[in-house]
Amino acid sequence: MSDISIRKEGVAGRITLTRPKALNALSYEMCTAIEGALDAWAEDDAVQVLIIDAEGDKAFCAGGDIAELYATGRAGDFDYGRKFWADEYRMNAKLFEFPKPVISFLQGFTMGGGVGIGCHGSHRITCESSRIAMPETGIGLIPDVGGSLLLSQCPGRIGEYLGCTSGRMTAADAIYAGFADYYVPALKWAELKSALAMSGDLTWIDKAAEPATPSTLKDDAETIERCFGGETLGDIFDALKAETGDFAARTLATMQRNSPLSMAATIEIIHRLRGSDDIRRALELEYRFTARAMEHGDFLEGIRAAIIDKDKNPTWRHNGPDVPATQVSHMLMPLGADGLSFT
């Protein structure tokens, strides 16, 4: 497949995303190819470590390839999207549970679906250009591909803040928030990858790592804790309106552009997951929302406004932060026989 390179090199299984002109956006075929490699290498004694990287300087993976999702959803075919998400989530779970070290190199944009393949590993490496985010609430979805679990594990209320604002993290921010582990300047990457592939010796990462620049996210943590500690989206908006200073004003302006239903459900999911390390529970909760997102949520309108018409003026189902709890509950109700399966 021209969009992805899967091979063995030394003692490493190598997965490289190879569509840099599309910012290495993840297609359905790429997801299934990654899953096949994970299945093949999990019990392969010749593979001691897994290395995931991508071509190009602009992005590790800027998200999922959503054109087909939009086209089928607009045509009233919701089953394609449900199958896409179900199969992607199964791959995310296998990557999270992979029994060997997983090393990812996260240059440029790592967003959405890119987080699902880049941020569940054991050794997540950033560089100067790294920008990591879960931007789904801006397109009427919720942070998925296991991203909700990562958000629930962030310090304090950082997860609610990142999930609701689609905030982009620098390398230092991502390390502070728990989305990454190391900062290694990009000039060292080629030599480091070669050393890891030939030896499987993870101490090469520690030798190459350097301190990241200070995290502005960490600097804002106290204000975020104060403003994002509420139980509902309405509580958070009220706290931000009561807060003085530029941070609260900027944050409110950002959140007013995002889908209220998606933000409200994101908060609820993070609260349910806090204290958990169960990727399958997170993915199952996420799938309850995404399986309904086209028919009952804001996803199609969000994609229209951001990607198709590019007018940046979506008409969400709710005009403000006071999303009825029944609406959130509806989006997160169990799907019964149609729920996510990991087999």
pLDDT digits (tens, 9 = 90+) for 291-336: 999 999 999 999 999 999 999 999 999 999 999 999 999 999 999 9
Mean pLDDT of 206-210: 98
Backbone angle region of 225, left / alpha / beta, with phi > 0 → left and psi within -120 to 50 → alpha: alpha
What is the per-residue pLDDT across 246-287, written as a single tens digit (0 to 9) for each? 999 999 999 999 999 999 999 999 999 999 999 999 999 999
Q: Which two tokens stand for residue 7?
A: 């091979």
- Report pLDDT for 1: 55
Rounded Cα distance between 53 and 61, Å, is: 9
Q: Return the exposure string of 221-244: e unless at least 16 CB atoms fall within 10 Å of the residue's CB, then b.
A: bebbeebbebebbeebbebbeeee
How far is 212 from 170, CA to CA, in rounded Å? Answer: 9
pLDDT at position 64, please?
85
Identify the H or E element spanning 299. Answer: helix 299-303
Give the chain's radius of gyration (CA, Å).
19
Residues 194 and 207 sit within 8 Å (Cβ to Cβ) = no
What are 18's two structure tokens? 């190879």
Q: Are the C-beta atoms of 77 and 110 separated by less than 8 Å?
A: no
Q: What is the residue type of 324?
A: P
User: How far is residue 44's CA from residue 30's CA, in Å, rounded to a whole number?
Assistant: 21
Tokens of 221: 């943590």
The 10s digit of each residue's pLDDT in 1-12 is 589 999 999 999
CA distances from 312 to 139, 281, 309, 331 (A): 10, 33, 8, 24
**Phi–psi pair at 278, nearest 5 degrees:** -100, 100
CA–CA–CA angle 260, 72, 294 (5° rounding): 20
Show the CA angle centred on residue 337, arms to residues 31 and 78, nearest 5°: 55
Per domain, the residue ranges of the chain are: 4-338
Both tokens of 205, joined, read 């990462």
User: pLDDT class for 181, splitting at 50, 70, 90?
Assistant: very high
Per-residue confidence (pLDDT) for residue 2, from 0 to 100: 85
Tokens of 190: 């080629």
Are the CB atoms for 113 and 63 separated by under 8 Å? yes
- The CA distance from 47 to 121, in Å, is 16
pTM: 0.97
* Contact indicator for 54, 109 with CB cutoff of 8 Å: no
In the CATH scheme, what architecture does the domain 4-338 have?
Alpha-Beta Complex (3.90)
Give 258: exposed, middle or buried? Use CB within 10 Å, 0-12, 13-18, 19+.
Answer: buried
Q: What is the pLDDT of residues 121-170, one digit of tens each?
A: 999 999 999 999 999 999 999 999 999 999 999 999 999 999 999 999 99
Distance CA 258, CA 260 (A): 6
